[in-house]
Amino acid sequence: MGDFFKRIGEFFSSNLSKLNQTQKIIIFSVIGVIVISLIIIIAFSSKPDKTLLFQKPLSPEDYAKVTKALQDINADFSTKDDKYIIVKDQKTAQTLRMKLGQQGIIPNNVTGWELFDTQKWTTTDFERDVNLKRAIKGEIERQLKLLDGVEECYLNIAWPKESLFTNTAQEITASLTIIPKPYSNILENRKQIEGIKKLVAFGIPGLKEENVVITDPSGNIVSDFSSMDNTAYLEIVKQQLQIKERERVKIEQRIRDQLQKIIGKNKIDIQLDIDIRFDQVQSEANKIIPVVIKPDNPNTPYDDSVIVPNVTISEQTIQKEYKGPQTIPEGPPGTEPNVPPGYKELLPSSVVVNENQQTKNYEVSTEKVISSLTPYQINKVSCSVMVDGKWEIEIDSKGNLVVDKSKLGYKRKYTPLSNDEIKKIEEVVKGAIGYDKARGDIVTVQNIPFNHESEFAAEDAIIKRKDLLRKALITSFASILVFLLIIVLYRVISAEVQRRKKLKEEELLRKQQELREKALRAAEKEGIEVELSMEEKARLEMQENAINVAREHPEEVAKLIRTWLAEDVS
C-alpha cells in the first residue's frame, strides 16, 4: 500500500515539475475552488430544513398578533417580507400552531385542514362543523390552484339544513369562479372543465355533478356544454375522417410496398377508397352445444369420442294394474238406461287394466355468447391499380445504343405485361387489402404505359456521361501507353547510340595505341631513343602489371572482364 502511494506521489511530482509557474497556479486554484465548494455544500446541507408556520402570507394585523404571541412564549422564529413566519422544522410549526390556537389566535386566511391544527379547548360542535366545511372548501381551492392554467379560484358551497325526510331535503349546490393564467385555455377545454366539476363533486359529500356551476371572471357559465353538442358532433366527424384516411394510407402503403418489390419504383399508381362503418354493434346469442361424454383420444387413428345431444337429469316410471268388476254403463238415476237389451249380459263380469308411464327430464348444454364489434369496421374496399410495362433501350446489330434524333436521347422499346403477370399482381393486391367477395370489394389492375420523359432524360444523361468517361479513360490509357512506348524506344535508341559511340571511340583509341606501339617498336629497332611522357610511362607500366596479373591469376581476371561486359550491356 505504501509503494502505491509512493508511486502516486512520484507521478504527481514528475508531472508538476514539467509545468510552468502559471499552469501550477491555475491547477492549485481550481483544486482550492472545488474544495471550498464541497465544504460550503456540506455545511448548508447539514443545516435543518426550515419551514413556514403558515403557508399563506399573513395580513398586517394577523402578522402583528402572531409575532407578539410568539415573543411572549419565547419561541425561536424569523420573519420574511413582514408576511411570513419561519421556524426551524415541521414539528415546531405544529406545536406553535397548537399553542396559538389555545390562545384563540388564528389567522383569517387559514382555511384548510390547518384549522384543526389550532383547536381551542372551548370549541363547540357547531364550530367544529363550520371549521370542517371551511377546511373542505379551502382544500378544494388549494387543489384547484395546483392545476396548470389556474391563477386563482373561489368556491362557494350552499349547505342546506338537514331534513328527516329525503323527499323534502334540499340538495347541496356549489359555484366555482376560475381566474385563468395568462394565455391559458383552461376555460375553453371541455375535458378540463368536466374534470374540475368531477373534482369538486367528489370532494364534497352529497354534492352531485349537475349541481356544480363554473363561471369565468366575467360571470359567464363555462360548464354548460349544451351549445357545444354541434361542435362535438363535428369533432366526431373529423375524427372519423382522420381514421378513414389513416386506414386508407395504411392499406395503400401495404400494396405499394408489395408491388414495388415485384415491379419497381415509379411504375405503379394506386387509387384506393374504403367505406368504414362506425356503428358500435353488440349481439348476444344462446347456443345449444352437444355434451362430450368422452373426449377423442389423439393416439388412436379413429374417433372414439362419445357425444350426446343432451343429458338425462331425472327419470320417473309409473306402472299401474287394475283388476275388478266391469263397470256397466248406466244412465242417470231414476231413468231407464239407454242400453240395448241383452248388452249387459254380453259384457264380461271382471276386467284387468294395465297402465305404464315413463317420464324423463333432459338437460341440454348451452353457451351464452356476447360479442361486440370494434369501434369501426371496414365495410367495403375499392382499389384500382395502374401498372407500367417494361422499357428497354434499343440496340443495333453492332451493339450500339440507338439514338432518337427527335428527342436527342436513346430509343426505348415498350413491352406490356403478360396476362399471367397481371393476374399475379391482382392476387397480390387482393391479399394486401384482405379481399372479401362477400363484402363487395372491387379490385382492378390495368397495364398502361407511363410517361417517363424526365426519368429517361436523366437516365440518358447518365449513360452519355458514362460513355464520355469511358472514352476519356480509353483515350487517356492509350496516350499513356504511347507515351511509355516512346520513352522506352527513346531509351533503347539512346543506349544503342551510346554503345556504338563508345565502341567507335574504343576502336579509334585501340588503333591509335597500335599505331603508337608500332612506332615505338620501330624506333627501338632502329635504335632511336624516344622520350615518353609521364602518362605514357604510367600506361605502359599499368599494361605490364595487368599482363603479369593475368598470367598469375587468370580466373579473377576472367571474372572481372565478365563483370565489365555485363555493365556495358546494361
Q: pLDDT of 21-42, one tens digit each?
A: 777 777 777 778 787 877 777 6
On the 0-12 / 13-18 / 19+ scale of CB atoms within 10 A, 99 is middle
Q: Are 376 and 276 in contact (CB under 8 A)?
A: yes
Q: So where are the chain's domains? A: 1-45, 51-103, 125-227, 534-568
pLDDT above 90 covers a percentage of the chain that reads: 1
Residue-wise pLDDT for 44-58, tens only, equals 554 556 777 777 777
Is the predicted pLDDT of residue 301 greater than 80, yes or no? yes
Range with the lowest mean pLDDT among 62-66, 258-262, 349-353, 502-506? 349-353
Whole-number Å distance between alpha carbons of 62 and 100: 12
pLDDT band at residue 515 using 50, 70 and 90 as cut-offs:
confident
Mean pLDDT lowest among 109-123, 428-442, 479-493, 494-508: 109-123
% of the chain surpassing 70 pLDDT:
77
pLDDT of residue 491: 87
- Give the per-residue pLDDT at 374: 65
pLDDT at 468 (0 to 100): 86
The whole-number pLDDT of residue 14 equals 67
Q: What is the model's pLDDT at position 16?
A: 65
Per-residue confidence at 518, pLDDT binned at 50, 70, 90? confident
Helices (H) and strands (E) in the chain, counts: 12, 19
Residue 110 has pLDDT above 70, yes or no: no
Query: Which residue has 399553542 as its cell numbers?
Result: 99
Task: Give the chain's mean pLDDT.
Answer: 78
pLDDT for res 411: 79
Q: What is the pTM of this model?
A: 0.37
| Cα distance between residue 333 and residue 428, in whole Å | 96
Identify which of 274, 249, 234, 266 has the alpha carbon closest to the alpha carbon of residue 435: 274
At residue 367, the pLDDT reads: 78
**pLDDT(424) > 80:** yes
State the CB neighbour count (10 A cutoff) for residue 256.
17
Mean pLDDT of 421-439: 87
The alpha helices in 73-118, defined as continuous H runs, are: 90-102
Give the residue, 237 or 566, on which the prediction is more confident. Answer: 237
- Statement: residue 486 has pLDDT above 80: yes
CA dist 271 → 262, 268, 445 (Å): 19, 10, 11
The CATH class that applies to domain 125-227 reads alpha beta
| 311-327 average pLDDT score | 78
| pLDDT, position 292 | 81
* Residues 51-76, mean pLDDT to the nearest whole number: 80
The 10s digit of each residue's pLDDT in 146-199 is 788 888 888 888 888 776 666 667 888 999 999 998 888 888 888 888 888 888
- Residues 262 and 553: their CA atoms lie apart, in Å, by 88
Highest mean pLDDT among 87-96, 461-470, 527-536: 461-470
In this prediction, residue 569 has a pLDDT band, given cuts at 50, 70 and 90, of: low
- The pLDDT of 231-243, averaged and rounded, is 78
Q: Beta-strand (E) ranges in 508-565?
A: none
Between 125 and 157, whose confidence is greater?
157
Provide the pLDDT for residue 83: 77
